[in-house]
Amino acid sequence: MAFKAGIVAMLGKPNVGKSTLVNGLVGQKVSIVSSKPQTTRRRVLGIVQGEDYQVALIDTPGIHEPHTTLGRAMVDAARQALDGVDAVLYVADVSKRAEAADKQIAKLVRPDGNPVAPILLCLNKMDLLPAEMVVPHVESYTKLFETEDYMMTTATRLLNLDKLMEMVVEKMPEGPALYPEDEYTDQPMRFLASEIIREQVLKHTREEVPHATAVVIDEWTEEAGLVRISASIVVEKQGQKAILIGKGGQFVKMVGTAARLEIQTLIERSVFLELFVKVRDDWRMNPRMLHELEYTE
């Protein structure tokens, strides 16, 4: 069989399971995951390696109605991911019918009535779909995107991900690998480490704090058998800073401990992690700050 290689843009609304899906397909953690909408803030590439194929999956921020400069940058990143791809994988929460937001995204991938690339549907969270609603819910997506290429999945349990991958590979063109065979992402370790820290904040905070938080790696020093990392957790208000520090510094210590252990597993070296919490008023509306955080080019 000839080798196949291609690029797939993964699109969908917030919180439908795109990042869980890409992690499951790649077999490595390349995108952080939380129950909070808009966890993914910029394009993340996950590379699925097979014996006779290589598929580069572009995990994108959930497409939503933006209310901040950051939100607009996130939606722009999702739109830009469509340029030059070999297929579009639309991820939907199949426990719900297609709605107005899905229709807007359908227009994005079929701007003039024709698809920008072959469209495949990953109808995720099938474990939450009542049996009597399977047909109407599935049809709401297949009719909207005008495709019968779909697979129902439960990404959290890896159900049907192998079948989904077979469907994706079938759409890929023949050609040489696009990336080295031992790579699983194009993201630098500093970015992955900052995202792991942010993931811990997302897991343990509520209301506005998760959305108002960013992480900057201030220093990364490698010594014999040890990596020293200094990072800043950026928030918008003094009250948010107080929450993240916690009584006696306990909250930020908990975040640091959990993040350090995961970063150590990722880079397979001992890690010394030092965290600081800083306030930057309305950073989500500040183009310069967004550029510094690498959310914009």
Tens-place pLDDT, residues 21-49: 999 999 999 998 888 877 888 888 999 99
Residue 297: how many CB atoms within 10 A of its CB? 10
Using the predicted structure, report yes or no on whether residue 141 has a pLDDT greater than 90.
Answer: yes
Cβ atoms of 116 and 74 within 8 Å: the answer is no
Task: Label residue 212 by pLDDT band (50, 70, 90).
Answer: very high
Question: Cα torsion for 189, 77, 65, 30, to the nearest 10°?
Answer: -30
Biggest alpha carbon–alpha carbon distance for the chain: 61
Using the predicted structure, report yes or no on whether residue 85 has a pLDDT greater than 80.
Answer: yes
Beta bridge partners of 154: 159
Q: Where is mean pLDDT largest: 76-80, 89-93, 208-212?
A: 89-93
Residue 267 φ/ψ, nearest 5 degrees: -95, -5
pLDDT value of position 23: 95
Instruction: Of 215, 255, 211, 219, give the one whose Cα is nearest residue 232.
Output: 215
What are the pLDDT digits (tens) for 228-275?
A: 999 999 999 999 999 999 999 999 999 999 999 999 999 999 999 999
Distance of CA 141 to the CA centre of its chain: 22
Q: Is pLDDT larger for residue 285 or for residue 71?
A: 285
Q: What is the DSSP pairing of strand 44-49 with strand 53-59?
A: antiparallel
Residue 119: how many CB atoms within 10 A of its CB? 20
Query: Which residues make Cβ contacts (< 8 Å) with residue 104, sequence separation at least 6?
Result: 63
Inter-CA distances, 166 with 126, 181, 228, 246, Å: 19, 19, 41, 47
Cα separation, 12 vs 59, in Å, equals 10
Cα separation, 114 vs 199, in Å, equals 38
Task: Label residue 140 by pLDDT band (50, 70, 90).
Answer: very high
pLDDT value of position 92: 97
User: Average of pLDDT values for 63-91?
Assistant: 86
pLDDT value of position 2: 92
pLDDT value of position 65: 77
Query: Checking phi first, is residue 235 left (phi over 0); if not, alpha (psi -120 to 50) or beta?
Result: beta
Query: Which tokens hold the place of 12?
Result: 């969908």
Using the predicted structure, report yes or no on whether residue 297 has a pLDDT greater than 80.
Answer: no
Burial zone of 130 (CB within 10 Å; 0-12 exposed, 13-18 middle, 19+ buried): exposed
Using the predicted structure, report yes or no on whether residue 106 has a pLDDT greater than 80.
Answer: yes
Instruction: Of 55, 76, 57, give the one whose Cα is nearest residue 19.
Output: 57
pLDDT value of position 109: 92
How many Å is the Cα radius of gyration of the chain?
20
Query: Which residues make Cβ contacts (< 8 Å) with residue 212, sequence separation at least 6?
Result: 235, 236, 237, 240, 284
Please, what are the domains in the chain? 4-171 (3.40.50.300), 189-292 (3.30.300.20)
For 234, how many CA atoms within 13 A lie in the half-sphere containing its CB? 17
pLDDT value of position 185: 92
Task: Label residue 139 by pLDDT band (50, 70, 90).
Answer: very high
pLDDT value of position 36: 83
User: Three-class SS of residue 45?
Assistant: strand
